[in-house]
Amino acid sequence: MQRTLKTAVSFSGLGLHSGRPARMTVRPASADYGIWFRRTDLKVTDTLIPARWDVVVPSKLCTLLSNASGATVSTVEHIMAALAGCGIHNALIEIDGPEIPIMDGSSAVFVDRFLAVGLREQMIPVRAIRVLEAIEVREGDAVARLEPSEMLEIDFTIDFAEKAIGHQAKHLNMANGAFVRELCDSRTFCRQADVDAMRANGLALGGTVDNAVVFDGDHVVSPGGLRHADEPVRHKMLDALGDLALAGGPILGRYTGTRAGHALTNKLLHALFAKRGAWKMVECGPTTGLKLPGMGVARADLAAVA
């Protein structure tokens, strides 16, 4: 069955790239509403922005959504991952600024608050997107691929010259709370040289070592070091789940990313929906429903992060 929050939850913090403070409230919504954002600070005709793959616009380092009136919201990937990973299908996200608060650089704060207030089942079946044919997109040595599977699987590989990151690969079956237990606390990461370059160009103005893992050569600059030895690849998987959640429903398929980022994952969704016969919408019965991300998850799972 579809699910929403039992009650509204509020957050506040700085945007990672803009450095601007924002207050955000995630509200329950009716069945079949989906996920929408509302800019409460704007006076444009339409302040509602759908969380959908076809309203993504090109942006550096994050996922940015825009509606026909020009209302935008950026860095949506972590909140979208939290919603998908908790199995929340319907919500209205009100925000008084252009960028989602970065919090600690992961989805853990969102997940903790969602599970703390609890979820309400709605007596409408979940409709999922079943992948029927393999679809692949490439840009240089970066690859993103979707292929058939009975449930959502994510397989990701990264390669960085820095020894502290290096080659990392991980595969997860995302059913039954795997996101909460294994991915949700993994933080965004960057190299110190990248931070310096971004700030020189007016980006990453809200970024600190408290909301991102910063690497400098072979060293981890952020206090406390890594939460996981392979935290960077886990965070890339978190990002992928958030970007795939813009498909308009849970995906039943295997996603493989090799050095892929936000733009390539969105390009993959465009390729999937553009190919007739490559996918179909299915109604999830009890057996399939149990395979969806977030089904059966509890707040106690946060203490079991791998």
Give the pLDDT mean for 108-132: 96
- Going from N- to C-terminal start, the domains of the chain cover 2-122, 127-304
**For residue 203, pLDDT beyond 70:** no
CATH architecture classification, 2-122: 2-Layer Sandwich (3.30)
- Is residue 155 classed exposed, middle or buried when 0-12, 13-18 and 19+ CB atoms within 10 A define those classes? middle
Kindly state the percentage of the chain with pLDDT values over 90: 75
Give the pLDDT mean for 142-161: 96
2-122 against 127-304: fold identical: no
DSSP 89-152: --EEEEESSSB-B-TTSSSHHHHHHHHHH-EEEESS--EEEEE-S-EEEEETTEEEEEE--SS-
**For residue 304, pLDDT beyond 60:** no
Q: Is the pTM of this model over 0.85?
A: yes
CATH architecture classification, 127-304: 2-Layer Sandwich (3.30)
- Is residue 113 classed exposed, middle or buried when 0-12, 13-18 and 19+ CB atoms within 10 A define those classes? middle
**For residue 306, pLDDT beyond 50:** no
167 is catalytic: no
**For residue 205, pLDDT beyond 60:** no
How many Cα atoms are found within 13 Å in the side-chain-facing hemisphere of 146? 29
User: How does the average pLDDT of the chain come out, rounded?
Assistant: 92
Which of 17, 78, 89, 262 does the annotation list as catalytic? 262
Give the pLDDT mean for 51-60: 92
**For residue 236, pLDDT beyond 50:** yes
- More confidently predicted of 102 and 209: 102
Q: Please give the span between the terminal C-alpha atoms of the chain, in angstroms, as a whole number.
A: 28
**For residue 117, pLDDT beyond 50:** yes
